[in-house]
Structure 1
Amino acid sequence: MSQDWIGYSYAALVLAGGIMGYVKAAGLGAYLMSQNPKDVRLSLGTSGTLAIVMGMRFLNSWKFMPAGLMTIASFLMLGKTAVGVVKRPHDS
């Protein structure tokens, strides 16, 4: 049986692209919040999506690494962002 190297290469490319996409989105979200604390949409969207996806993976596998860890980290980021939104001063 021969190895499907094209398939493996494609899978690696998709994986790397997905990881880089989330890294860029999370980094951009952090940068936007640093510049303007009211700009939380990208950070909320990224951490919320990751919390849901990884939470579902964790519930299906019950394996802590990496799904459980990323679920916890994503929910912590969601909580931090939500607390920042609630505590920030409101403009008139």
Structure 2
Amino acid sequence: MTDIVGYAYGLTVLAGGLVGFIKAGSLFGVLACLGAYQVSNNPRNATLSLIVSIVLLCVMGGRFYRGRKFMPAGLVTILSLIMVLRYAIRLISK
């Protein structure tokens, strides 16, 4: 079953990450899409997706806390939190 939510998250991060890649070499969007691909092929293979989501939650959460700007840090923080919960539940319920 295709991980549509994972791909949507990955593409959202990828779109925002294009600017990040140009500025800082960020590859989180590519890694999030790779993780969604892995989950699509094996729903229990959510480790990469979980790690990427946790890292983005921490990094963007910190930026949101310091800057108080919703775009893009707040949005990515919320999306990352949702994905962390989603993938953690998936891994726990193996």
Aligned partners of 2:56 and 2:80 also within 8 Å: yes
Which ranges of structure 2 fall in alignment gaps of 5 or more residues?
1-18
Q: What is the aligned length?
A: 76
Q: What CA distance in whole angstroms lies between the structure 2 residues aligned with 1:81 and 1:12?
A: 24
SS at match of 2:25: helix
**Larger RCO: 1 or 2 (CA < 8 Å, sep 6+):** 2
Q: Which of structure 1's runs of 4+ aligned residues deviate more than 2 A? A: 11-17
TM-score by length of 1: 0.72
Aligned residue number for residue 37 of structure 1: 43
Cα RMSD, aligned residues only: 2.1
> Is residue 2:83 matched to residue 1:71?
no
Which of the two has higher C-alpha Rg? Answer: 1
- Aligned-pair distance for 1:16? 7.0
Structure 2 CA distance for partners of 1:39 and 1:59, relative to 1, 3 Å: same
Percent same amino acid at aligned positions?
42
